[in-house]
Amino acid sequence: MKTYVTVTKKSLMAVFLSTLFIIIVSGQFYAAKNPVVNGKTHAQRVAYIKSLSLLPDEENASSKNIVIPDIFSDVYDNYNKLQMKSGYDLTPYKGVEATVYTYPVGRIKQENNDEYYVNLIVYKGRIIGGDISSRNFYGEMLPLSSQN
């Protein structure tokens, strides 16, 4: 005995629209979890830092190339948890070479005299993570933003 399935234009359109809806919703979820911030140029990185309500010392910026480890140690797992507070996740970038741009931002807290730096991790012209770090060896490390 053979069974036939009849597909009407309405049912085909319903399947198409449902699939399109799922793609759009999952894309929005991914975009919300992984903000796209351009960081290819010095001006773009400075604008991003200023959007965090920080004033970067543009004259004393520095950069270095890094390789994000293939396997995260406990230290990198904790660092990635800090990234996730800002909506970033370094997991998809395991094993890639990226550039860390560092900008001094001075004092950011009234209760201490620590000097701070903003570190931005850039891969293929896009900011994929970073932190705000105290210059003090035992100082704190903060997420870039808790609002992304």
- 41-76 tens-digit pLDDT: 999 999 999 999 999 999 999 999 999 999 999 999
**Cα–Cα distance between 80 and 146 in angstroms, integer?**
14
Q: Answer yes or no: is 97 within a domain.
A: yes
- Identify whether 71 is part of a domain: yes
In this model, does residue 86 exceed pLDDT 80? yes
Q: Which amino acid is at 141?
A: M
Do residues 131 and 119 touch, judged by C-beta distance below 8 A?
yes
Q: Distance (Å, rounded) from C-alpha 126 to C-alpha 122?
A: 5
Give domain status of residue 7, yes or no.
no
User: What pLDDT score was predicted for residue 132?
Assistant: 94
Is residue 11 predicted with pLDDT exceeding 90? no
Whether 59 is in a domain gets the answer yes
Give the pLDDT band of residue 25 (cuts 50, 70, 90): very low
Asked if the structure places residue 13 within a domain, the reply is no
Q: How far is it, in rounded angstroms, from Cα 58 to Cα 102?
A: 10
User: Do residues 103 and 61 lie in contact, with contact meaning Cβ atoms separated by under 8 Å?
Assistant: yes
Within a domain: 80: yes
23 against 116, higher pLDDT? 116
Q: How many Å apart are CA 112 and CA 72, to the nearest integer?
A: 32
pLDDT of residue 16: 44
As for how many domains the chain has, the answer is: 1
Has residue 14 been placed in a domain?
no
Residue 146's pLDDT is what?
56
- Domain range enclosing 128: 36-142
What's residue 148's pLDDT?
40
pTM: 0.73
DSSP assigned state of 59: G
Tens digit of each residue's pLDDT (9 = 90 or more) over 89-128: 999 999 999 999 999 998 776 667 788 999 999 999 999 9
Q: Residue 56 domain-assigned?
A: yes
- The residue type of 61 is A
In this structure, of 17-26, 100-109, 113-122, 136-145, the range with the lowest mean pLDDT score is: 17-26
Q: Report whether 56 contacts 105 (CB < 8 A).
A: yes
